[in-house]
C-alpha cells in the first residue's frame, strides 16, 4: 500500500514536472513566435537592404501566354524544354532555374489547352520540386485533380495557376527570396523564348513583337530583385547575363518612330536564345 | 526507471514543442483581412504580396501592369496595424539627349586660288595660311526616372485603385503603416488583381 502511495506520489510529482514543462514550452513558443516575427522581418530587411524594403514583382508567365493565345499564336511543342532533360540537373541552381522553366512550359501547355502535355509537364515540374523540397502547390492531390480534369481546359488552367502561385507564395513567406528570384528568372526567360518563337514574321506593329519589347520593364524588375540578394557565384553570373540582355533592351529607349526595330528584335532574340540554351543544357 | 520516465518527458516535450511552434507560426498569404466581395471579378495570382509588418514600416512594391488588362489594387491588413495607407505612383523611365562633351580642335586654314579651290605649292601640298578653332559637340543620352503619384487611399473615396491600363508600365505600390507600438506585428496583403479588358461589342446599339 505504502509502495502504491509512493508510486502515486512519484507519478503526481512527474505529472507536475510534465505540466510545468508543457507550460514552459507553450510560453516559450509564444515568445519564440514573437522572436520569429522579428527574425523574419529582420531577414526581410536584410534581403532587400539595398532598396529599403522594395519588393520587385513580375506578372506571371501565364499572362504572357494568354496574350499569345488571344493573338492567334500557334502551340509549338518543339520549343519546350524536353522532360528528359530533368534528369540532367544536379546542382541546386540548375534545379531551381529549370523548375521555373518547366513551370513556364506547363503554363504554356495549359493555356493552349494541351491536356496530355499539361500532365507530362506537371509531373516533371513536381519531380524537380520534390528534389528541392518544394512540395507546396505540386503534390499528389493536384496530380489527381489534373487527371480528373484532363479535358477541361478552364479547370486545368485554374489548377496549374494555383500550383505555381502556391509554390511562389510559399517561398516568399519563408523569406526564400533567392530561390524565388532564380525560379522567376527561369520562368521569365522561358516565357520570352516561347514568345519570340511565336512570331511568324517581324513587324514593329505585330502585337506579340510589341509585348516582347515591353518585357524590358519586367527585366528591370528582375534585375532589381537579383540586386537585393546576397551575392554568390550563381546569382552574380545570372545578374551578369541579365545586365548584358538589358544593354540590348536599353537601346529601345532611343527609338522614336517604332517601339522596336527588326535589328533590335534579332539582337534581343539571339541573346535570349543563348541564355536559355545555357540554362537548359 | 526514473531515467526512462525523464527520457519520455523529454520526447514528449520535443513533440509538443514542434506542435506548438507549427500552430503558432503564421503564413500571411493565408490570412484574409478583406471581404470576398472586395475581390471583384479579378485574378490575384501573379503579383500580390504578403508580409509581416510593424507600426512605422513602409513597404514598396514595384509591379508591371500590362496594356489591355484591367487592374484592381488594394491593401488588406491586420486591424492591429491601424489605418494603413496605400499609395500608387507611375514610374516613367525616359531618356533625354544631353551634351556629353564639347571638344575644341585647332585646324589649319589653307590658301585658296582665284577659283576658290585649295591652292597647291611647288611640292603639291596645300598652303597653310593660319589656323582656326573648331568646336565639336558630342551628344549623349541620360536616363532619368519620373515618378507621378496617381492614387492615395487617404485622399480617395474608393478603397481601391481600379483602371484599364492602356500602356504597359511600372507602378510603384507603397504601403505605410502608421507609427505605434513597435512590438506589434501583423500581416498585410497588397492585392494586385488583373483581368483581360473586355472588348466593346463591334456592332452598333439599336
- pLDDT of res. A45: 31
Search chain B and give the residue with CA nearest A45: B59
Say how many domains are in chain A.
1
DSSP string, B73-135: EEEEE-GGG-S-EEEEEEEEEEEEEEEEEEEEEEEEEE-B-TTSSBPB-TTSPBPEEEEEEEE
**B2-24 helix and A2-47 helix, angle to the nearest 10 degrees:** 30
User: Which residue is associated with the grid cell 519564440?
Assistant: A32
Q: Which residues pair with B118 in a beta bridge?
A: B112
Q: Does residue A101 sit within a domain?
A: yes
Chain A to chain B, count of Cβ pairs less than 8 Å apart? Answer: 127
Between CA A40 and CA A172 the distance in angstroms is: 11
- Binary contact (B29, A172; C-beta < 8 A): yes
- The phi, psi pair for B49, rounded to 5°, reads -140, 145
According to DSSP, the β-strands at A54-56 and B58-65 are parallel
User: Which cell goes with A157?
Assistant: 488552367
Tell me which of A165-179, A203-217, B112-126, B167-181 is least confident: A165-179
- The answer as to whether A46 is a domain residue is no
Q: How far apart are CA B92 and CA A37, in angstroms?
A: 35
Distance of CA B159 to the CA centre of its chain: 21
The answer to whether residue A114 is domain-embedded is yes
Q: Is residue A184 part of a domain?
A: yes
Whether A14 has its CB under 8 Å from any CB of chain B: the answer is yes
**Taking every pair of C-alpha atoms in chain A, what is the biggest distance, in angstroms?**
102
- Does residue A17 lie within any of the structural domains? no
Contact A63 B60 (CB under 8 A): no
Q: Is A258 exposed, middle or buried, given 0-12, 13-18 or 19+ CB atoms closer than 10 A?
A: middle
Residue identified by cell 490570412 is B31
Q: What confidence score (pLDDT) does residue B144 get?
A: 86
Residue A8 lies in a domain: no
Q: How do residues B178-206 score in pLDDT, each as one tens digit? A: 998 878 899 999 999 999 887 665 554 44
Banded model confidence at residue A94, pLDDT cuts 50, 70, 90: very high
Confidence at residue B201, expressed as pLDDT on a 0 to 100 scale = 55
| A104-139: pLDDT as tens digits | 999 999 999 998 899 899 899 999 998 888 877 777
The per-residue pLDDT of chain A, averaged, comes to 83
Q: What is the pLDDT of residue B20?
A: 38
Better-predicted residue by pLDDT, A168 or A58: A58
d(CA A99, CA A86): 9
A272 lies in some domain: yes
Containing A80, the helix (H) or strand (E) segment is: none
Assigned domain for A35 exists: no
B15 contacts chain A (CB < 8 A): no
Question: Whole-angstrom Cα distance, residue B112 to residue B150?
Answer: 65
Q: Which of residues 178-217 of A touch B (CB under 8 A)?
A: 211, 214, 217
How far apart are alpha carbons B182 and B2 in whole angstroms?
Answer: 46
Per-residue burial over A220-254, b if 16 or more Cβ lie within 10 Å, else e, is: bbbbbbbbbbeeeebbeebbebbeebbebbbbbee
Q: Which chain B residues touch A161 with a CB distance below 8 Å?
A: 43, 45
What ipTM describes this predicted complex?
0.79
Which domain covers residue A119, as residue numbers? 59-280
Amino acid at each position: 500500500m505504502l509502495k502504491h502511495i509512493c508510486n502515486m506520489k512519484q507519478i503526481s510529482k512527474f505529472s507536475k514536472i510534465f505540466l510545468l514543462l508543457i507550460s514552459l514550452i507553450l510560453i516559450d513558443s509564444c515568445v519564440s513566435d514573437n522572436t520569429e516575427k522579428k527574425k523574419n522581418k529582420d531577414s526581410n530587411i536584410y534581403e532587400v537592404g539595398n532598396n529599403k524594403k522594395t519588393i520587385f514583382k513580375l506578372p506571371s508567365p501565364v499572362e504572357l501566354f494568354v496574350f499569345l493565345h488571344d493573338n492567334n499564336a500557334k502551340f509549338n511543342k518543339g520549343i519546350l524544354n524536353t522532360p528528359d532533360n530533368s534528369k540532367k540537373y544536379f546542382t541546386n541552381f540548375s534545379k531551381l532555374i529549370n523548375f521555373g522553366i518547366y513551370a513556364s512550359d506547363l503554363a504554356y501547355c495549359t493555356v493552349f489547352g494541351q491536356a496530355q502535355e499539361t500532365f507530362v509537364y506537371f509531373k516533371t515540374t513536381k519531380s524537380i520540386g520534390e528534389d528541392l523540397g518544394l512540395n507546396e502547390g505540386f503534390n499528389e492531390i493536384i496530380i489527381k485533380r489534373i487527371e480528373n480534369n484532363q479535358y477541361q481546359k478552364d479547370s486545368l488552367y485554374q489548377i496549374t495557376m494555383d500550383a505555381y502561385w502556391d509554390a511562389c507564395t510559399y517561398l516568399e513567406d519563408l523569406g526564400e527570396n533567392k530561390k524565388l528570384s532564380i525560379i522567376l528568372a527561369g520562368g521569365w526567360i522561358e516565357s520570352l523564348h516561347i514568345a519570340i518563337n511565336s512570331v511568324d514574321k517581324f513587324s514593329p506593329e505585330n502585337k506579340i513583337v510589341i509585348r516582347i519589347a515591353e518585357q524590358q520593364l519586367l527585366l528591370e524588375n528582375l534585375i532589381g530583385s537579383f540586386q537585393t540578394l546576397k551575392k554568390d557565384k550563381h546569382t552574380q553570373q545570372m545578374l551578369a547575363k541579365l545586365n548584358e540582355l538589358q544593354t540590348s533592351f536599353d537601346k529601345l529607349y532611343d527609338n522614336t518612330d517604332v517601339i522596336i526595330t527588326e535589328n533590335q528584335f534579332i539582337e534581343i532574340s539571339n541573346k535570349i536564345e543563348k541564355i536559355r540554351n545555357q540554362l537548359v543544357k | 526507471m526514473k531515467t526512462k520516465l525523464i527520457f519520455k518527458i523529454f520526447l514528449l516535450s520535443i513533440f509538443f514543442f514542434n506542435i506548438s511552434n507549427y500552430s503558432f507560426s503564421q503564413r500571411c498569404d493565408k490570412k484574409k483581412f478583406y471581404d470576398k466581395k472586395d475581390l471583384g471579378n479579378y485574378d490575384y495570382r501573379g503579383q500580390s504580396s504578403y508580409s509581416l509588418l510593424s507600426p512605422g514600416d513602409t513597404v514598396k512594391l514595384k509591379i508591371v501592369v500590362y496594356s489591355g488588362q484591367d487592374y484592381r489594387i488594394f491593401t488588406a491588413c491586420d486591424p492591429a496595424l491601424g489605418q494603413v495607407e496605400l499609395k500608387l505612383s507611375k514610374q516613367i523611365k525616359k531618356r533625354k539627349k544631353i551634351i556629353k562633351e564639347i571638344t575644341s580642335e585647332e585646324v589649319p586654314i589653307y590658301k585658296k586660288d582665284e577659283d576658290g579651290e585649295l591652292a597647291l605649292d611647288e611640292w603639291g601640298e596645300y598652303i597653310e595660311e593660319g589656323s582656326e578653332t573648331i568646336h565639336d559637340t558630342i551628344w549623349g543620352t541620360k536616363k532619368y526616372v519620373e515618378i507621378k503619384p496617381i492614387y492615395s487611399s487617404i485622399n480617395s473615396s474608393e478603397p481601391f485603385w481600379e483602371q484599364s491600363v492602356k500602356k504597359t508600365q511600372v507602378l510603384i505600390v507603397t504601403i505605410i503603416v502608421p507609427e505605434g507600438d513597435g512590438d506589434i506585428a501583423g500581416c498585410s496583403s497588397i492585392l494586385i488583381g488583373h483581368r483581360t479588358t473586355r472588348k466593346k461589342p463591334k456592332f452598333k446599339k439599336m
